[in-house]
Structure 1
Amino acid sequence: MATSRSSAILGYLESKKNLAGGACGVLGLVLTLTGVAGTYWPVVVGGLYAAGALIAPPERLRPPVPPEPAEQLGFAREDFARLREYAGEVELPAEPAGILAGLLELYAAVLAPGWVAGVLAGDPEAVHALTRAIRTDVPECVDAYQRTRWWTRLAPGGESPERHLERQLSLLREEAERLTADLRETEARRQQTHTTYLEGRRES
């Protein structure tokens, strides 16, 4: 607590308000030394300091810096570990469970440390999409299914929650497959670029 208080004090001492107030306070001292302030010099100096602090422009707040893709990938791995643990504790019908298992295998392959993860880290949009799916989409699918299934047992009828879950997980699987296809295309372009470079070097 003492450290945070010291940081706050140091921050104010370096602030524009303190600097402006100090400049006006110096003006008050000048008026005192020249005899203008008279016996009320403490009030004059304090008032000028306060006036300077009030008219100083507010401090510009620094916008939050988003994490780098590689750092965000580390967060995604932590979220994925929690997701696998959560998925291992829930009971799902055979068909959705199979889709979920395949989806998790795909996530695991892409997130595994190595050159594949390096390619992924070079695509911030892909990292964001993968993080969103792992952190939000998959848990929401499973949680919504469990809640809806509980209500369905009380009041049977309506559309099957299993079909919704199967459809949701299938869509996420398609999204993950598009992501891996894009990464594969990135590597294919890289290979083609190097081939073109070597061919050009031979002809030169």
Structure 2
Amino acid sequence: MAYLESRKNLAGSAGGLAGLVLTFTGVAGAYWPVVVAGLYGAGALIAPPERPDPPDFPDPSAQLAEVRADFERLEAYLSGVDLPDAAAGRLGELTGLLSALLDPDWAPEILARDPEAVHALSRAVRQDVPEAVDTFVRTRWWARLAPGQEPPERHLEHQLDLLGAEALRLVESVGEEERQRQRTLSQYLKDRSE
């Protein structure tokens, strides 16, 4: 059935119809079956090959929805982890930034235009934050067995500071894009009024 709708069959059928026209006008003569078959074959051979459909990857909006769902699971995990006050404060600031970026009413169309931002959010939610917290929890247990080591809280706070700075850069990038859109619209309206 797929061949019947293919480009090769359609081009061959057009060639075969041309052969029938030649037959009915008397040009093909007694060799009309060979002419019709030959024109069908020629049409099928010169037709462009079928192109496979490109893969259907999810668009950034769908990816953002998945990251939002993962962020909810991350928040549930983080609510059950006992952290020192300083680290808990830094983690609260970071999750607040991530929550604002993932807010469906605030920036979905802006982020959907920037696959790098979607990737950065996905990496932060799915890998960086859970790994930093989980590593702290496991290292804290070992630090209790061997006191005198560098406290794992210090590493966690440093990691959260770095992740927070990365999230702030992402917020600034998204904000700059919106400011640029506003400047462009102002310039367009100014040019239009002149």
* Same fold, TM-score > 0.5, yes or no: yes
**Aligned residue in 2 for 1:104:** 95
What letter matches 1:143 in structure 2? D
One of 29, 50, 68 as aligned partner of 2:59: 68
Unmatched runs of 5 consecutive residues or more in structure 2: 1-51
Q: Is the 8 A contact 2:100 2:106 kept in 1?
A: no
How do 1:67-86 and structure 2 match up within 5 A? 67-86=58-77
State the TM-score, normalized to the length of structure 1.
0.67
**Aligned residue in 1 for 2:180:** 189
One of 118, 129, 132 as aligned partner of 1:138: 129
- Identity, % of aligned positions: 54
Quote the Cα distance in structure 2 between the aligned partners of 1:116 and 1:74.
12
**Aligned residue in 2 for 1:164:** 155
What letter matches 2:119 in structure 1? H
Unmatched runs of 5 consecutive residues or more in structure 1: 1-60
**Aligned residue in 2 for 1:18:** none
State the TM-score, normalized to the length of structure 2.
0.70
Q: Secondary structure at 1:118's aligned position in 2? A: helix
Q: Is the 8 A contact 2:140 2:152 kept in 1?
A: yes
Quote the Cα distance in structure 1 between the aligned partners of 2:141 and 2:82.
13
What letter matches 2:87 in structure 1? P
What letter matches 2:133 in structure 1? V
Quote the Cα distance in structure 1 between the aligned partners of 2:53 and 2:147.
54
**What displacement does 1:159 show?**
1.5
One of 97, 114, 132 as aligned partner of 2:105: 114
**Aligned residue in 1 for 2:146:** 155
**Aligned residue in 2 for 1:91:** 82
Quote the Cα distance in structure 1 between the aligned partners of 2:109 and 2:56.
22
Quote the Cα distance in structure 1 between the aligned partners of 2:73 and 2:164.
19
How do 1:1-16 and structure 2 match up within 5 A? none
Greater shift, 61-70 or 160-169, is seen at 61-70
Quote the Cα distance in structure 2 between the aligned partners of 1:190 and 1:111.
20
What letter matches 2:65 in structure 1? G
Moved over 6 A (4+): none
Greater shift, 126-135 or 102-111, is seen at 102-111
Name the Cα RMSD after superposition: 1.8
What letter matches 1:184 in structure 2? G
The answer to whether 1:176 aligns with 2:162 is no
Q: Secondary structure at 1:150's aligned position in 2? A: helix
Cα deviations by residue, 1:101-147 (Å, 9 ceiling, x for unpaired): 11111111111112422211211100100011000000000000011
Cα deviations by residue, 1:138-158 (Å, 9 ceiling, x for unpaired): 000000001111011111122
